[in-house]
Amino acid sequence: MLLSVKHTTTYRYDTLARYAIESLRLTPPAFDGQTIVSWQVSAPGIDKAARFQDGFGNLVHLTAVQSEHDSITIEAGGVVETADRIGVAKGLPEPAPLRVYLRETPRTAPDDAIRDLTAKCKAGCTLDKLHRLMHATREAVSYEIGTTHSHTSAAEALADGTGVCQDHAHIFIAGARVLGIPARYVNGYFLSGTPEPSDAHHAWAEAWVEGLGWVGFDPTNLMCPTERYVRLATGLDAATAAPIRGNRRGGQNETLDVVVEVQQQGAQQQQ
C-alpha cells in the first residue's frame, strides 16, 4: 500500500523567543514491510542540522533557531510503501540490548491495579499473554479524547478508565514488563479503514517474542499493525519516542497546533 503523510507542527508564543533547539524524530525507518519512497523534513535550521542515530535506533535531526522569533513551523512528510507483516517488525537498527526495554519509567511504572490486570494474562505462550493483555487494556480503558494529557502515567489512565492511544500503549508496556517481556513504545501514523476511534498520528507498542522478534500490538484498535501503519520512532515511553523535543529561551505562553494527514495514494480517504 502506498501511503502519503503530511505532518505539520506549529509553535506560537505571546512574546519573542530568543533561542530554540529541537530534536526531531520525524524520519520513518526502512525495514521489512516499510519502504520510504520519498520523505522530507522542513524546519528552521534544518540545512545545518546535526544528524545522528539515538540509542533506540531513531534517526534524529538536531536543529537550532538563534534569532528572535514568535513561532516555529516544522513539517515532515512524503510517501511510504507498506506491506502487512502481521505485526512483526524485522530489519530495524537495534543498538539497545533487550534488557533496556524492561526498564520502568515514570509513565510506565506499574501499580497494584496494573499488576492485577496483568495477573489475568499469564496463561499460555508469550503471544497468548500479549494478546490477552492487549484486550484487557482496551476493556479497562475506553477511548476518550481530552481526559488525559501528555504526562499522564499508565497507572493514572487505568485508574481513570479513559484515555487515548498513548495511554493504551503505556498500560500495555507496563503490563508486558511485569510479565518479564521487553516492551517499547512506538509512534507513527495510521490510516483508518473503519469507524473505530483512531488518530492519524498514532501510538502503539511492540513486545519481544522469542522466535519472532519485535511484534506490534495496538490496544486502541485491538489489532497488530498492518499495511495501514507507518512506523516513525520508538523508545521506552512517549517521552523518549516523541517526534519533537526541545527547549527555548523566552517565548511565553506557548500554543501548539498539530495537523496530520494520512492518505492512501490513489484513494480519497483522509484522516
pLDDT along the chain (271 residues), means of 10: 96 96 98 98 96 97 96 98 97 97 98 97 96 98 93 97 97 98 97 65 97 98 96 97 96 94 72 39
pLDDT of residue 271: 39
How far is Cα 71 from Cα 255, in angstroms, rounded to an integer? 9
pLDDT of residue 199: 59
Can you read off the three cell numbers belonging to residue 194?
Answer: 473503519
Going by CATH, does the domain composed of 2-82+242-264 fall within 3.40.50.300?
Answer: no
* Extents of the domains making up the chain: 2-82+242-264, 88-235
Q: What is the pLDDT of residues 90-124, one digit of tens each?
A: 999 999 999 999 999 999 999 999 999 999 999 99
How far is Cα 22 from Cα 134, in angstroms, rounded to an integer? 33
Q: What is the rounded end-to-end Cα distance, in angstroms, of the chain?
A: 16
How far is Cα 198 from Cα 174, in angstroms, rounded to an integer? 22
CATH architecture of the domain with residue range 88-235: Roll (3.10)
Q: What is the pLDDT of residues 2-30, one digit of tens each?
A: 999 999 999 999 999 999 999 999 999 99
